[in-house]
């Protein structure tokens, strides 16, 4: 029995459902959202939108060669990792 299954069972998930959840996550393509995880995800998205500008942001050039800040350098699906 995997640690993953034991963890699900520890919080009261029946073995058959824990096995089904484990199969969903075989290649890391499925995220099961709880209301708490979804709230945390929304908080992180808000924080990313409101990060103040600093000289350490990535800089890009537009088609005219003018430098501008590339503020959004991560994808929304990078955030859930710690909350799923």
- H-assigned helices in 1-84: 3-10, 15-24, 35-49
22 and 39 in a common domain: no
82 and 49 in a common domain: yes
38 and 15 in a common domain: no
3 and 42 in a common domain: no
Of 54 and 14, the one with more pLDDT = 14
48 and 16 in a common domain: no
pLDDT at 37 over 70: yes
64 and 49 in a common domain: yes
pLDDT for 2-33, tens place per residue? Answer: 888 888 888 999 999 988 888 877 776 666 67
Q: Cα–Cα distance between 13 and 78 in angstroms, integer?
A: 27
70 and 57 in a common domain: yes
- Domain ranges, residue 10: 1-30
40 and 24 in a common domain: no
What is the model's pTM?
0.35
Question: Confidence class of residue 77 from pLDDT cuts 50, 70 and 90?
Answer: low
Is the CB of residue 38 less than 8 Å from the CB of residue 7?
A: no
39 and 15 in a common domain: no
């Amino acid at each position: 029995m995997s640690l993953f299954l034991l963890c699900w069972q520890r919080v009261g998930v029946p073995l058959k459902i824990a096995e089904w959840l484990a199969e969903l996550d075989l290649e890391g393509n499925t995220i099961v959202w709880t209301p708490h995880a979804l709230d945390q995800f929304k908080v992180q998205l808000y924080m990313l939108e409101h990060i103040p500008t600093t000289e350490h942001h990535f800089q890009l050039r537009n088609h005219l060669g003018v430098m501008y800040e590339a503020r959004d350098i991560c994808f929304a699906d990078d955030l859930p990792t710690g909350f799923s």
